[in-house]
């Protein structure tokens, strides 16, 4: 399905990114793995890189080859370390990498943003999510940016994913991507058994994480999420653009049922 495609995957040292890199390689892709941490095993090429600053993103982009077919934005942090770093990695760095890589991408390419069920509230918080999504580059002063946009330090994770879901839709209609027919989609998992889930347990509490898991019977594994990401990279997804693919065993359907009293 991905034979001969050159696919860049961030967060490839662990969890969902590592499994996506493995699966994309098995499907015939040439994989370029990016992470701040060096993976124990990696597929294709590995580039160490830090998405948390404009300088870090520029260094990554400089080292990327031309002729890229797809970018999988998987890297992310849990929010445990505060909203500043969480917004940097989960949103501003991801957005800047996506915008900067376009010149090296083929027409008809694909960008996949790993968001989360945690971003479900974007409609309720659309004004704030839109303001963050329209911000260009990294905010010069993150403390005042957070204050202006009413971003509580402990809510960095859901707010970063709400902004990402809004930006996915905006980017899919933005000339920068659209003029090259580059599709921009999101994949939203519920709880997945990866190292980050322990941090979610610390931030949200066991009860909240377990309640989400119980709604769908089990936590996901990275192998449940990677195929959805690979599909959106593929030509089979050529008419899917600006979409958020809930990859959560039905969790979003349960939340919809409860929220709208269906
Ligand atoms: N595990 C879950 O329950 C869950 C649920 C919903 C969404 N997600 C999302 O899935 C994505 C992948 O998470 P995961 O579960 O595989 O977690 P993980 O912790 O296993 O992997 C995250 C990877 O991102 C990398 N990373 C962190 N900061 C970075 C930076 N500054 N620059 C470059 N790389 C950096 C880490 O080194 C790590 O390899 C994240 O965006 C996360 O928000 C995870």
Report residue 255 as tokens: 């939340």
Interval 196-212: pLDDT, tens? 999 999 888 899 899 99
Catalytic annotation, pick one of 43, 46, 157, 200: 157
Residue 187: the pLDDT is 99
CA atoms of 87 and 245, how far apart (whole Å): 22
CATH of 6-192+222-248, one of 3.20.20.70, 3.50.50.60, 3.40.50.720, 3.40.30.10: 3.40.50.720
What is the 260 CA–ligand 1 centroid distance (Å)?
30
* 176-199 pLDDT, tens digit each: 999 999 999 999 999 999 999 999
Q: Measuring from atom 14 of ligand 1, which residue has the nearest CA?
A: 15
What tokens were used for 196?
Answer: 């980050």
pLDDT grade for 41, boundaries at 50, 70 and 90: confident
Helix or strand run (H / E) with residue 30: strand 30-35
What residue spans define the domains of the chain? 6-192+222-248
Is a pLDDT exceeding 90 seen at residue 244?
yes
CA 87 to chain centre: 12
Does residue 42 carry a pLDDT above 80?
A: no
Q: What is the pLDDT of residues 245-257, one digit of tens each?
A: 999 999 999 999 9
The pLDDT assigned to 203 comes to 84
Is the CB of 199 inside a 6 Å radius of any atom of ligand 1? Answer: no
Per-residue pLDDT, 246: 98
Is residue 43 annotated as a catalytic residue, yes or no?
no
Confidence of residue 66 (pLDDT cuts 50, 70, 90): very high
Ligand 1 centroid to residue 147 C-alpha, Å: 26
Shortest CA distance to 98 belongs to which of 10, 22, 1? 10
- Alpha-carbon distance of 197 to 219, in angstroms, equals 10
CB of residue 164 inside a 6 A radius of ligand 1: no
Query: Each residue of 68-123: pLDDT tens digit?
Result: 999 999 999 999 999 999 999 999 999 999 999 999 999 999 999 999 999 999 99
The Cα 154–Cα 200 span in angstroms is 12
Atom of ligand 1 nearest to the CA of 78: 43
């Amino acid at each position: 399905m991905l034979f001969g495609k050159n696919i860049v995957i961030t967060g490839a040292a662990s969890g969902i990114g590592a499994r996506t890199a493995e699966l994309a390689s098995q499907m015939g892709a040439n994989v370029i793995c990016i992470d701040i941490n060096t993976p124990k095993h990696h597929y294709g090429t590995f580039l160490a890189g830090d998405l948390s600053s404009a300088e870090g993103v520029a260094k990554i982009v400089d080292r990327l080859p031309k002729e890229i077919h797809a970018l999988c934005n998987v890297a992310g942090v849990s929010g445990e370390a505060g909203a500043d770093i969480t917004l940097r990695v989960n949103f501003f760095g991801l957005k800047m990498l996506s915008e900067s890589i376009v010149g090296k991408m083929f027409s008809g390419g694909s960008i996949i943003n790993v968001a989360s069920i945690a971003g479900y509230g974007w409609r309720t918080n659309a004004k704030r999510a839109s303001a963050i999504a329209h911000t260009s580059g990294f905010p010069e002063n993150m403390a005042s940016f957070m204050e202006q946009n009413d971003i509580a330090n402990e809510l960095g994770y859901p707010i970063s994913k709400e902004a990402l879901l809004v930006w996915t839709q905006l980017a899919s209609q933005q000339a920068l991507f659209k003029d090259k027919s580059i599709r921009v989609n999101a994949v939203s998992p519920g709880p997945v058994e990866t190292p980050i889930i322990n941090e979610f347990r610390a931030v949200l509490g066991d009860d909240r994480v377990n309640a989400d898991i119980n709604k769908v019977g089990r936590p996901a594994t990275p192998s449940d999420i990677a195929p959805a990401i690979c599909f959106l990279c593929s030509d089979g997804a050529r008419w899917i653009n600006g979409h958020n693919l809930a990859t959560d065993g039905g969790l979003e359907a349960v939340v919809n049922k409860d929220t709208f009293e269906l």
